[in-house]
Structure 1
Amino acid sequence: MVADFHVKVWRDTYRDLAPAEAHAVLDEKYRGKKWKEKLSSNDSSQIVLIAEIDGRMVGIGAAGRPSESIFEGRGEIKFLYIDPDFKRRGIGRQLLAQLAIHLREMQYRGAALSVVKGNESAIAFYAALNGQPAGEYIDPGPVWRSQNILFMWNDVASLIP
């Protein structure tokens, strides 16, 4: 179920940005395997949150220790996906706040994330939350080496209402 949601929202988000190969490879089977690994992990530094409305999954988010040195020791927001039918209802802000609380509890003073260049709605969302663009890098993803913009918050508490 999580993998199906992830694929649906990912494909919608990146329909005009990701190459056809990424859309083909990053399917439900691939995502299902990755989600099974993620959800069965004993890594207490990682958190995965699911937002539901009336039993329907409408958002997912994850955060934990930074995966890349470019994050400069800040806690990493790994991803945040909201169902397109439920955007602009505050779900993303609520998930992001809960992810920030986790990072604060893990003793991270700041938070960071990356956004694929061209994902204008996400860029606007993070900018509206006072995320500071702090450089670019190429994501080492499994299939698609996307160009990304790094957003940082020096005070993770600024993401918590």
Structure 2
Amino acid sequence: MHKILELGIEHISQLRALEASCFAYQWSEDQFKLGLERKAFRVLGCEKDGMLVGYLAYSTVLDEMEVLNLGVHPDFRRRGIGKALMLSLLQKCREMEIKRGLLDVKESNHPAIALYESLGFEKVGIRKNYYPDTREDAHLYDLEF
């Protein structure tokens, strides 16, 4: 069982360390701080034995939700952590009466694509050369609640 919790400003150093282990391109401390302080986005975290091993940043505007980042520590991948974070988010969305979920994913990230499609997200478009680190295309996904 995965322990999912809402993360706040006090978790920024753990979040940044986790993100650095997951992605070549990371958010700055100020981006996390301002976003969390201003409630521009929220972050769910997954802890295992007191260690932050996964996180999911998302935003909500009116009745729409967008997944901004989903990262799982490389040593803990393929153990259901990403799915647990997504299921927790989708439950929160239902409680908040969100009508639509959006996300983008690198075209080469087949495990993430499989996860999102298994949860009902449907591919609706492509953004060419979207990601700054790899210039990869982003596949756009949509979920109607």
Structures share fold, TM-score greater than 0.5: yes
| Residues 115-124 or 131-140, more deviating | 131-140
Is residue 29 of structure 2 the alignment partner of residue 32 of structure 1? yes
d(CA) in 2 for partners of 1:31, 1:47? 16
Decide whether the 8 Å contact of 1:111 with 1:154 is kept in 2. yes
CA displacement, residues 4-43 of structure 1 (integer Å, 9 cap, x when unaligned): 11121113xxxxxxxxxxx5xx4xxx52221122222244
Residue type of the alignment partner of 1:4: A
Runs of 4+ residues deviating >6 angstroms: none
Q: Percent identity?
A: 28
2:7 aligned residue: none
The aligned length equals: 130
Is residue 72 of structure 2 the alignment partner of residue 82 of structure 1? yes
Decide whether the 8 Å contact of 1:117 with 1:149 is kept in 2. yes
Residue type of the alignment partner of 2:56: G
1:136 aligned residue: 126
d(CA) in 2 for partners of 1:60, 1:123? 17
Please list every run of 5 or more consecutive structure 2 residues that lacks an aligned counterpart in the other structure: 1-13
Is residue 48 of structure 2 the alignment partner of residue 10 of structure 1? no
TM (normalized to structure 2)? 0.75
CA displacement, residues 52-71 of structure 1 (integer Å, 9 cap, x when unaligned): 100111100022226xxxxx
SS at match of 1:65: strand
1:15 aligned residue: none
Kindly report the root-mean-square deviation, in angstroms, between the aligned alpha carbons of the 2 structures. Answer: 2.4
Say which structure is richer in helix.
Answer: 1
d(CA) in 2 for partners of 1:129, 1:107? 17
1:110 aligned residue: 100
Please list every run of 5 or more consecutive structure 1 residues that lacks an aligned counterpart in the other structure: 12-22, 67-72, 156-161
d(CA) in 1 for partners of 2:115, 2:82? 9
Decide whether the 8 Å contact of 1:61 with 1:95 is kept in 2. yes
d(CA) in 2 for partners of 1:109, 1:97? 16
TM (normalized to structure 1)? 0.68
Say which structure is richer in strand.
Answer: 2
d(CA) in 2 for partners of 1:120, 1:61? 18
